[in-house]
Amino acid sequence: MGLARGGIVLAGETVPLYSASVHYWRLEREVWRSALLETQKLGVRLIDTYVPWGVHETPAGDMDFGEGDPRRDVAAFLQMVHELGLLAIVRPGPHINAELTFFGLPERIVWDPACQARSPENNPVMLPMVPVGFPVPSYASEAFLAEAEKWFALVGPRLAPFRYPDGPIVLCQVDNEAAFYFRDGPYDQDYRPEAIAHYRAFLREKYGTEEALSRAYGARAAPFDAVLPPVIFDAANADELTWHVDWIEFQERLVAMSLARMKAALARAGLSEIPMFHNMTMGYEATPLSAARIRRAVDLVGLDYYHRATPGERLLIERRTTELVTRSDGLDEPAFACEMAAGFPPFFFPIHDESDNRFNVMTALAYGLRGFNIYMAVERDRWIGAPIDRHGHPRPSSMFWAKLCSALQQVRFHELVRRVPVRIVNSALKRRLNRALHAFSPATPALFAVLGSGSDESCFEEDFGLGGVTVSETDAFVALFETALSARGIPFAHADADLADASLQAAHWIICPTADGIEPSLWARLKRAAAEGTRVTIGPRVPSRDDSLRPLDMPLDAAGFQVVQRVGPHPYFDPAAITALVADRVGELGLPSLPIAPPSVFATIHEDASARPRVLFLVNPTTDPHLATVRLDAAAVTDLFDQSRHETRENQVELGVPARSVRMLRIDLA
């Protein structure tokens, strides 16, 4: 058993990760079979379920695995999954959210001061969640982690007999959306004594000597066993930013360290042979979630998708998905959506109707997603709009999911690839600065990221003596290249700088914003790429600092790079110059392009192992229908949903694309 780009490998077969969520404890036991059978008819092979600690632990402190309430018999549920020929994904927490009160944790845990995260004032960190606000646990708390390990030691033996091939379990999730329980502002938490001790150990490991720490922190420095973290943003210049950036980097390490400990506990509890994964929440780039660090703690990192059908959210899906895909492809693992919205919780931001869900999943697939978990497949409390009701009866929306899964299987979509020779690098420093410079605390930075707000709308605008407004310049640099590349139909993808070796594979042109600081290892990777013939474009200046904004000892050698310089106020760069640069690169590198009109419709191509185009997506995020014209070297295309066939004329095909929709078409070669 193992992971591959197309899914999970079982007995030599790569099984695509098409799964659906069914929460056994929320359904009457007599409904389980009909709910599973209807879920199977959607075309999925995997059943996903949480195993909630707070549901199985009774108020008296005992464990109920079906002895008292038959709905809690997780073993019987997994046995039924197995008997139906399905596979299973289990998610035993400890945090699961699932719109449960206390996010699936026992009440005694969240109200235990020894388990609680702490604010700078040493107060519990409260989450104002419906129906009951509660103090969130700490990822540094020894008491909380020990309690979680006890839970795993109890639930693990219940799950272990159902590991594949003896049972259906093939994947296990470690915790859930570990973004500090949505109290993810950089100065919200965690100031527990254990967290401060871990912070000091992090600094000792990073700096090595107190002299090096003193050079970096100046007046903020102290002996390693006495240095304190920032509690509010108060940097007046670039040198003082280092203290804040380090604190934010430490929070990323704390989360990953806790997840690694949880994974080890699950392995000890009997799940050692099961690949383990974690899901990154919406707006994760503004939280203490680092895909690179978490990937070192677990086997697979996936994303959650709750997007609407709008032009702005199409762009968000493109950015999030292409970064996930380049990372996953480079690591030879599936680009997986751990939660793909099918409905929504009643207190979530407004998803207008089922067309949002359809647009959400189809657009993610258009940009390279290879697997998804339908969340939720079966209705339950605190959820609206699942394709199957809580009595196990299908709703009209179930037809969409069945048609989608059938289409994906027909073209063997998990084996296809979207060729993207252009990569835009997303730096860890930019992500950390966006958190540090967030101007609307205590409002969570992640909320602004989810809503698509950029640095101009959400961050302080000072340049801190760096020669420019770093975060806003980076946003403008990226956005102008995205616009110019999209206008010519050139496929591009975002790439995670922290996993550059994996994310930049097969790139012909790397575009890297390098406003003021860069990780030395990333700079070395760019230099190596340039030496091997890859074009590298940076801007607006050659950085003089590292990824913690510490001044570099020696100037960086930018020979072989093209530097796009800032020319004025916002948008900071000359759009015409960037458009011309893209045109030059197209001719020089022979970049593939997929011209399409009108420009408000977007197209992607997916190829087979022989580089033959097999699937075309057309994405229309606008509120108007469009007649799109696409240049395509093929005889015809066939819509994989309505089976309509459209022949090409002079290598062009005209296709109607309804408002707020995506079309998926098989390419029929001559």
Give CA–CA dist 373/503, Å, rounded: 24
Backbone torsions φ then ψ of 271, nearest 5 degrees: -110, 30
pLDDT digit string, tens, across residues 66-82 = 999 999 999 999 999 99
pLDDT digit string, tens, across residues 383-403 = 999 999 999 999 999 999 999
User: Residues 373-396, buried b or exposed e (16+ Cβ, 10 A)?
Assistant: bbbbbbbbeebebbbbbbebebee
Long-range contacts of 120-128 (CB under 8 A, 24+ apart): 120/187, 120/191, 120/231, 120/232, 122/191, 125/181, 125/183, 125/188, 125/189, 125/190, 126/183, 127/181, 127/182, 127/183
Lowest mean pLDDT among 71-75, 260-264, 454-458: 454-458
- Which H/E stretch holds residue 297? helix 291-297
What is the mean predicted confidence (pLDDT) over 125-131?
A: 91
Class level of CATH domain 596-668: mainly beta
Backbone torsions φ then ψ of 492, nearest 5 degrees: -140, 165
Asked if residue 349 has pLDDT above 90, the reply is no
462 vs 208, 233, 237, 238, CA distance in Å?
31, 13, 9, 10
Asked if residue 265 has pLDDT above 70, the reply is yes
Average pLDDT of every residue of the chain: 95
409 in helix, strand or coil?
helix
- CB 453 within 8 Å of CB 266: no
Give CA–CA dist 3/171, Å, rounded: 10
| Residue 510: strand pairing partners | 423, 536
Query: How confident is the model at residue 248, as a pLDDT?
Result: 97
For the chain, the structural domain boundaries read: 422-589, 596-668
Give CA–CA dist 649/365, Å, rounded: 27
**CATH architecture observed for domain 422-589:** 3-Layer(aba) Sandwich (3.40)
What is the mean predicted confidence (pLDDT) over 466-495?
A: 94
pLDDT digit string, tens, across residues 605-648 = 999 999 999 999 999 999 999 999 999 989 999 999 999 999 99
104 in helix, strand or coil?
helix
Asked if residue 535 has pLDDT above 70, the reply is yes
Give CA–CA dist 149/269, Å, rounded: 9
Q: Return the structure tokens found at 379.
A: 């209705």
pLDDT digit string, tens, across residues 573-604 = 999 999 999 999 999 999 999 999 999 999 99
pLDDT digit string, tens, across residues 146-173 = 999 999 999 999 999 999 999 999 999 9
Backbone torsions φ then ψ of 134, nearest 5 degrees: -155, 155
Asked if residue 187 has pLDDT above 80, the reply is yes
Query: How confident is the model at residue 306, as a pLDDT?
Result: 94
Residue 445 — very low, low, confident or very high, per pLDDT cuts 50/70/90? confident
Would the pTM count as exceeding 0.85?
yes
- CB 339 within 8 Å of CB 279: yes
- CB 188 within 8 Å of CB 121: no
Residue 520 — very low, low, confident or very high, per pLDDT cuts 50/70/90? very high
Query: How confident is the model at residue 663, as a pLDDT?
Result: 98
Query: How confident is the model at residue 453, as a pLDDT?
Result: 82
- CB 534 within 8 Å of CB 564: no
Percent of the chain with pLDDT over 70: 99
- CB 284 within 8 Å of CB 179: yes
What is the mean predicted confidence (pLDDT) over 108-122?
A: 97
Residues 6+ apart with CB under 8 A from 305: 282, 317, 320, 337, 339, 340, 341, 360, 361, 364, 372
Residue 350 — very low, low, confident or very high, per pLDDT cuts 50/70/90? low
- CB 489 within 8 Å of CB 483: no
- CB 224 within 8 Å of CB 203: yes
pLDDT digit string, tens, across residues 215-247 = 999 999 999 999 999 999 999 999 999 999 999
509 in helix, strand or coil?
strand
Give CA–CA dist 125/522, Å, rounded: 36
Burial class (CB in 10 A: 0-12, 13-18, 19+), 553: exposed
Single-letter residue type at 48 = D
Q: What is the 3-state secondary structure (H, E, C) of 112-141?
A: CHHHECECCCCCECEECCCCCCEECECCCC
Give CA–CA dist 204/261, Å, rounded: 21
What is the distance of C-alpha 75 from the center of its chain?
A: 31
Asked if residue 352 has pLDDT above 70, the reply is no
